[in-house]
A and B are shown apart, each in its own frame.
Chain A
Amino acid sequence: MKKILVVDDEENIRFLYKEELGDEGYEVVLASSGKEALELLEANKPDLITLDIKMPEMDGIETLKKIKEIDKGMPVILCTAYGQYKQDFSSWASDAYVVKSADLKELKETISKILEKTAM
């Protein structure tokens, strides 16, 4: 069973992702901040991380950098409420970029695509 770490400061979103991705058959681990995510990364190595960009304290981009410093190969999907970061070069380091939507279809497809790739 693939393990997905969901990093988002909004509790309802975390809950939604947990339910939806759980339904898809993933083990879902939740983190409410970048800091928590890094801690979990050491102890509970996931197969993929979804990362919200706009978070207090350490934002998604910074967290992404730190994650890549710890585990260069870790697949990361950046999730954001709007398209600004698509332009930003820092997001190159992420494996995918998904605009948040109530329809989780795009996110789910992206996850499975990346996991298929890493499995090979």
Chain B
Amino acid sequence: MPLDNKKSIDLLCSIIAISNSNLPLADRLNQILDILCGSLIFESVALYTLDAEKERLYLAASRNMDYLAEIKISDSFAEQALIENRHIIFDNIAAGEGLFKDTDSPRPAGKGAVFPVSDGNFSYGLMIANLPAGQSLNDSDLHIIKTISSEVAGTIRNVQLYSNAKKVVEELHLINEVSESANSSNNIDELLQLTLNKLIEWFGVRCGIINITGDNGSSERTIFLSHQSELAQDNVIQHCKECGLDIHTIEEAVLLSLTGLSESAGTCPSEAVIAAPILNGDKRIGAIILFGKRGETPFTKEDLQLLRNLTAQVAPAIENTVLLEKTKVIGREREVMVQELSMLFDLNKAIMTTIDLDRLLHIILTAVTMGDGFGFNRAILFLYNKSTGYIQGMMGVGPDSSEAAGNIWHDIHEKGKTLNDIIEDEELKQPQSQLNELAKGMRVSESEKSILQLTVKEKKAFNISDAWSDPRVNRDLLTKLNCKAFATVPLMASGRVAGIILVDNIYNNRPIDDDDIRLLTIFANQAGTAIENSILYRDIQKAHKEVKAVQNKLIHSEKLAALGEMAAGIAHEIRNPLVSIGGFARRLARHTGENDRESGYVDIICKEVERLENILNDILVFSKEASVESGQQDINSLIEETLQFFWNDFEKCGIEVEQALSPDIGYVKTNRQQLKQVFINLFANAKHAMENGGKLNVKSYPSESEDKIYVHVDITDSGEGIPLDIINNIFNPFFTTKDSGIGLGLAITHKIISSYGGEIKVMNIKDGGATFSIRMPAVNQDDLL
């Protein structure tokens, strides 16, 4: 039905009005089609719009017939119409295969027409129609339809431009929002969460995963958000991996439709997947996967590009945050380390400069229990005695009850007392507490099976978390401690165990962790050395005291000796006259008559002399010990002195004397007279053995064995030697082979030497003659000081 001019103008006017209205595009298109059908130009009509990829035509609106929802652009008529930008007239619309839905409804008859929807530059789609039966289109009809379709094209273009502009603005807005939130958060998890949330919202998906690869210093993170509660992160990641999309290796942005995903429903929400690596510059720092687009619209290339842009936006923020986190962690570690070190340093200084054992132990235990120290609730220190094998509790520090614990901690907190304050407290001695009493009562012998002995034996710490069921822990200890977890750490001193520190957290039940043990072990090594030093110092002090006492006694006895010597001297001088006085007085008494006056006088003299003699005896008994006083003797000079004495005798007998006296020998502590007697006896025997001449060799030298220094004197003659059948008897008293001998010389010699801790031996020498060897302990050099 050809349109007249007026109709044509009306038609165009109403179509332009609709085109420029504010109605949604679909409404406008529908109304335009209504008008086209109503004006009886077309019997039925459909409008297809070209997709962004320009691959498909989608049905946007249709009238009076079931047109297909989608037409491939490769269909020859569509291609002709679009590319050549011209209309095509079919003589029979029914021949337009692929235009209509395959339904039972009758196919339209009559001519068909396809018009490109184009503004002259660009095609936006196709308009397909069939004409009322028997009608055809004249040139003016075609002209009007072309005008209308360019009007429609304009409408579509405007709408598309508008929505594109809107989308770009929204995208920009999103990018801005994402990067803003990315930069606003310092917490990497929060940042990833925020970002993922935004993306899920934007892309309208049900589920998303962000993975950030960890490198040294920062750990790998994965954030999983899903609107489908039955989806589990690990399952989804695993499933994607099985389908070739490994979140750990995504290198490029991909838009995928993973087959088979829907079959394992519950694992993966949808086949539609969009994924992209997160790249900071060229560096891949992670990846993102989005699933399950809601609504029917699939992911587009624009979506992919947007995802790329977005990931590029957030990447630096993520990287920065990771770095920040990393430095924070390192910083925290450093801070902890510095704190630990400075605490250990302070403690070390304190314990190394503390020599008083009680004080030292108290400092150590305070350090172990203070909050700014190691913060254990209770601590007990044991010392290990290596020679007896006993482990002895020395001190315990800690509150006696949880109530007391609360008070003490509160107190410390209130007063702001620090470990250093306590270390510097001069009054620190044995603590007054039940725990301390308990600790001091603990004693474990070597044979007892105890965690304490185990700690000593294995030289390592034990962290007992379940004490009551641990077979290594003996009940006895447990009932005393009454705690369910504790730890023991050996106190090491130069590789040996000096003691044990036992700690627990009986009141706040804080578990003892590896870090506690590590730090405590470092401390225990220092503490062990300090304790050993302190014990050494104590021993030295004790020894020093003993030496002082002995020295005092020595001074005392020296005085006594002097007194005794004087008393003895006086006694001798007094006793002789007393003997005469008393003796003659007694004679007088016998010769005077009983009743003589004189007899009374003489009795008085006798009695007084007796009294004086008794006094003398008392004095002499008192000084008897001192009378055989020893002194340090220079053995060489004594030998020379004695030899001098024998000079004439030796010359007479023709005895040659050879001396080899070492100047390095020390002193011996003996009575000089007695030692002289020794040499007199030996030289006398030598002289007797060499009556017809010979050679006497006297040699002195020092020796050392088992840390003791000795003085030796060897006296060798060139006589006949000692017959073997008597050699075992010569030291017996009264054994002699000489007519003039008494046989006491060697007996006395032997007795004197051994009474000073020395030895005398005899040996015959090959070419005749005998050697008498004396060995005496030398005076300790320290004793000389």
Q: Is the Cβ of A84 less than 8 Å from the Cβ of B579?
A: no
Main DSSP-derived SS at the A contact region: helix
Q: Is the Cβ of B740 less than 8 Å from the Cβ of A69?
A: yes
Of B53-61, B157-165, B605-613, the segment with at least 4 beta carbons within 8 Å of chain A is B605-613
The residue of chain B having its C-beta at the shortest distance from the C-beta of A92 within the complex is B744
Q: Is the Cβ of A102 less than 8 Å from the Cβ of B628?
A: no
Contact with A along B641-679 (1 / 0, CB 8 A): 000000000000000000000000000000000100100
- Within A71-95, the residues touching B (CB, 8 Å) are 72, 81-84, 87-90, 92-93
- The reply on B742 being an interface residue by CB < 8 A is yes
CA distance A72 to B734 in the complex (A): 11
- The reply on B757 being an interface residue by CB < 8 A is no
With A81-B571, A82-B572 known to touch, is A87 a contact of B613 (CB < 8 Å)?
A: no
Residues in B whose Cβ lies below 8 Å from that of A72: 740, 742
Q: Is the Cβ of A102 less than 8 Å from the Cβ of B582?
A: yes
Q: Is the Cβ of B751 less than 8 Å from the Cβ of A89?
A: yes
CA distance A54 to B674 in the complex (A): 16
Interface size bracket, A side: 20 to 34
Residues in B whose Cβ lies below 8 Å from that of A57: none
The residue of chain B having its C-beta at the shortest distance from the C-beta of A68 within the complex is B742
Q: Is the Cβ of B744 less than 8 Å from the Cβ of A102?
A: no
- The reply on B583 being an interface residue by CB < 8 A is yes
- The reply on B575 being an interface residue by CB < 8 A is yes
Residues in A whose Cβ lies below 8 Å from that of B463: none
Q: Is the Cβ of B740 less than 8 Å from the Cβ of A100?
A: no
Residues in B whose Cβ lies below 8 Å from that of A87: 624, 627-628
Among the interface residues A20, A87, A89, which one has the most CB atoms of the partner chain B within 10 A?
A: A89
Q: Is the Cβ of A102 less than 8 Å from the Cβ of B610?
A: yes
Q: Is the Cβ of B572 less than 8 Å from the Cβ of A93?
A: no
For residue A30, give the distance in angstroms from its CB to the closest CB of chain B.
Answer: 14
With A16-B584, A89-B751, A92-B744 known to touch, is A102 a contact of B571 (CB < 8 Å)?
A: no
Q: Is the Cβ of A101 less than 8 Å from the Cβ of B572?
A: no
CA distance A65 to B617 in the complex (A): 28
CA distance A72 to B741 in the complex (A): 8
Q: Which of B576, B583, B620, B744 contacts A89 (CB 8 A)?
A: B744
CA distance A99 to B575 in the complex (A): 10
Q: Which of A13, A54, A104 contacts B572 (CB 8 A)?
A: A54
Q: Is the Cβ of B748 less than 8 Å from the Cβ of A100?
A: no
The residue of chain A having its C-beta at the shortest distance from the C-beta of B752 within the complex is A89
- The reply on B543 being an interface residue by CB < 8 A is no
Q: Is the Cβ of B580 less than 8 Å from the Cβ of A93?
A: no
Q: Is the Cβ of B568 less than 8 Å from the Cβ of A102?
A: no
Q: Is the Cβ of A10 less than 8 Å from the Cβ of B580?
A: yes
Q: Is the Cβ of A84 less than 8 Å from the Cβ of B628?
A: yes
Residues in B whose Cβ lies below 8 Å from that of A83: 620-621, 624, 627
- The reply on B324 being an interface residue by CB < 8 A is no
For residue B771, give the distance in angstroms from its CB to the closest CB of chain A.
Answer: 23
For residue B688, give the distance in angstroms from its CB to the closest CB of chain A.
Answer: 11
- The reply on B223 being an interface residue by CB < 8 A is no
Contact with B along A14-54 (1 / 0, CB 8 A): 01100110000000000000000000000000000000001
Q: Which of B572, B575, B579, B677 contacts A16 (CB 8 A)?
A: B579
Q: Is the Cβ of B742 less than 8 Å from the Cβ of A12?
A: no
- The reply on B255 being an interface residue by CB < 8 A is no
CA distance A83 to B622 in the complex (A): 11
Residues in B whose Cβ lies below 8 Å from that of A103: 582, 586, 610
Among the interface residues A81, A83, A88, which one has the most CB atoms of the partner chain B within 10 A?
A: A81
Q: Is the Cβ of A82 less than 8 Å from the Cβ of B587?
A: no
- The reply on B337 being an interface residue by CB < 8 A is no
The residue of chain A having its C-beta at the shortest distance from the C-beta of B577 within the complex is A12
Q: Is the Cβ of A12 less than 8 Å from the Cβ of B628?
A: no
Residues in B whose Cβ lies below 8 Å from that of A16: 579-580, 583-584, 587
Contact with A along B451-492 (1 / 0, CB 8 A): 000000000000000000000000000000000000000000
For residue A116, give the distance in angstroms from its CB to the closest CB of chain B.
Answer: 22
Q: Is the Cβ of A89 less than 8 Å from the Cβ of B748?
A: yes
Residues in B whose Cβ lies below 8 Å from that of A92: 733, 744, 748
5 A-B pairs whose Cβ atoms sit less than 8 Å apart in the complex = A10-B580, A83-B621, A89-B747, A90-B748, A102-B578
A-B complex: 8 closest residue pairs judged by Cβ atoms:
A102-B582, A12-B580, A81-B575, A81-B572, A16-B583, A89-B748, A84-B627, A69-B740
